[in-house]
Structure 1
Amino acid sequence: MFVEVTGIKKSYGEGGSYVQVLKGVSVGIEKGEMCVIQGTSGSGKSTLLNCIGGLDEVDSGSIKIDDKEIAGLRGEKLSDYRRATHGFIFQFYNLIPNLTVRENIQVCEYLTKSPLDMDELLSVLGLTEHQNKFPSQLSGGQQQRCAIARALIKNPKLLLCDEPTGALDSKTSRDILILMEEINRKYGTTMIIVTHNNSIKNMVDHVIYLKDGEISKNYRNETKVTASELEDL
């Protein structure tokens, strides 16, 4: 099991503001899988993603990535884990406005000893002709492609995606999902995607539903379709 989450609990606040967001969640994700985490707002899906990514510290439980325990890592060891193991893609891109597309990607390229080939990645993501533009000169879809390239340049084992199509129209969403599908196929990257979009679950290998901080459904998708076949994006 590439991602192995066992009994993790996570809460925020104290006293009257105390909220337990994750209530002993356990789940496993195989290497190379595309996995979707779904649930209503407040179900804990983004918190689970952030715990796996080392952005949030768990109260208790175990998180192993490629057999390495990461729950409880702090400081330099946590930074080393995040740098070496995974890339993040967020809904709102988080690009540096005064850097070009290529320079935004280079920021993460410098963090790894074995980056992917920059020019190949720009070509795969359709960014070659836009590489010297600034974020303000790009469409939303082009900005998200740049964000994906920035996450991928490190050649991560694990790609964590928080609402990667949430700010995009349906056509651009489909293009991005087709691209992610190609990346999974080309590089074998394990992907965990948090989304409100109910259609995306149909293109992935593994579907997890969270409800009130607990897993309500957890199954492999036996009727997987391609991203190009998705409806109602």
Structure 2
Amino acid sequence: MYLEVKDIKKSYGADGSYIQVLKGISTGVEKGEMCVIQGTSGSGKSTLLNCIGALDVVDSGSICIDGKEIVGLKPQELSEYRRETLGFIFQFYNLVPNLTVRENIEVCQYLTNEPLEMDELLHTLGLWEHQDKFPSQLSGGQQQRCAIARALIKNPKLLLLDEPTGALDSVTSKEILILLEKINRQYGTTMLMVTHNNSIKDMVHKVIRIKDGRISKEYRNENRIPAAQLEDL
């Protein structure tokens, strides 16, 4: 198992404001798989993603990536883990407004010793003709492509995506999902995706459903549907 989570618990606040968000999550994802985490708002799905991405510190439990335990690592070790292993794509892109598309991607290119080839990535993601534009000159889908390119340039082993189609219309959502499917196939990138969109579950290898901080259901897709054939996005 490439990603293995065991009995993860996470809470916030104290006394009257105390709330336990994750109540003992155990699951895993195989190398090269695409996996979706589903659940209603407040279920704990984004918190789980942030714990795996070392943006949140768990109260207890274990998170192993490729056999390496990340719970309990020192700040410097966590920084190295995020830099060397992870790509993180946020819902609201977080592009630097005064940098061009190419420059936004270069920010992350400099963080790794083995980046993907910039020009190839720009062509793969359909950004070649937009590389000298600023974020304000891009459509929402183009901004999301730039955010994906920025995460991928590091050649991450694990790509974490928080609502990757949440701010996009149905046509652009399908384009982005086709692109993610292509990336998974081309680079073998393991992907863990939080989404409210129920249709996306049909294209991935594994589905994890969270309710009230616990896994209510998880299963593997025996008959995956290509992203291009998804409906009701």
Which TM class, normalised by the smaller chain length? over 0.9
Could you tell me how far 1:74 is from its partner in structure 2?
2.8
How far has the Cα of 1:222 moved from its partner?
A: 1.1
Secondary structure in 1 matching 2:129: helix
Displacement after TM superposition at 1:154 (Å): 0.1
The answer for the alignment partner of 1:164 in structure 2 is 164
Q: Tell me which stretches of 4 or more aligned residues in structure 1 moved more than 6 Å.
A: none
What's the RMSD between the two structures over aligned residues?
A: 0.4
Cα offsets for 1:51-86 (capped at 9, x unmatched): 001000000000000000001223111000000001
Deviation at 1:26, TM superposition (A): 0.3
Look up the match of 1:228. Answer: 228
The 5 Å alignment of 1:87-166 reads 87-166=87-166
Match of 1:75 in 2: 75
C-alpha distance in structure 2 between counterparts of 1:106 and 1:124, whole Å: 16
Q: What is the DSSP-based 3-state SS (H/G/I as helix, E as strand, rest coil) of the residue aligned with 1:9? A: strand
Consecutive unaligned residues in structure 1, runs of 5 or more: none
Measure, in 2, the Cα distance between the counterparts of 1:105 and 1:213: 35
CA distance in 2, matches of 1:30, 1:19: 31
- More divergent stretch after superposition (216-225 vs 146-155): 216-225
* Contact 1:58/1:72 (8 A) holds in 2: no
Q: Deviations over 1:127-157 (max 9, x none)?
A: 0000000000000000000000000000000
TM-score (norm 2): 0.99
**Hey, what does 1:24 align to over in structure 2?**
24
SS of residue in 2 equivalent to 1:143? helix
> How far apart, in 2, do the equivalents of 1:73 and 1:108 lie?
23
Rounded Cα–Cα distance in structure 1 between residues aligned with 2:12 and 2:160: 22
Distance 1:192 1:169 in 2: 21
> 2:217 and 2:204 mapped to 1: Cα distance?
15
Counterpart CA distance in 2 for 1:75 and 1:166 is 31
| Whole-angstrom distance in 2 between the partners of 1:137 and 1:41 | 32
Deviation at 1:200, TM superposition (A): 0.2
Taking the aligned partners of 2:74 and 2:50, their CA distance within structure 1 comes to 14
